[in-house]
Structure 1
């Protein structure tokens, strides 16, 4: 996963956790604006989320943050 995406995921997870607490769930769409302005990056996130790790549609932000920080 490219650093740009990894950094964005980490930032969004931290933001959501601070706003809504440790139990907040999110999908990979949370890392993108409502516009499809970077389809290649969106597909990279989708592949990581769905194909590589077979995650559910919604996962806990703390889990995703931990995965990204550990380099998974």
Structure 2
């Protein structure tokens, strides 16, 4: 996954955790605007989330942040 996307995911996770606490869940759609203006980027995250890590639709932001920081 490209570094700019990793940075965005970490920033979104940090913001959500700060707002709602460490148990907040999110889906990969949390990293995008409500309209699909970059389908290739959406598919990159979807592939990482669904195919690579076989994550559930909603996962804890702390888990996603940890995976990204670990370079997974």
1:5 aligns with 2:5: yes
Aligned equivalent of 1:19: 19
Q: Deviations over 1:3-56 (max 9, x none)?
A: 111011000000000000000000000000001111110000000000000000
TM-score by length of 1: 0.98
SS at match of 2:17: helix
TM-score by structure 2 length?
0.98
Q: Which residue of 1 aligns with 2:65?
A: 65
Structure 1: tracts of 5 or more residues without a match: none
Q: Write out the 4+ residue segments of structure 1 that deviate beyond 3 Å after TM superposition.
A: none
Please provide the CA RMSD for this pair: 0.4
Q: How many residues end up aligned between the 2 structures?
A: 72
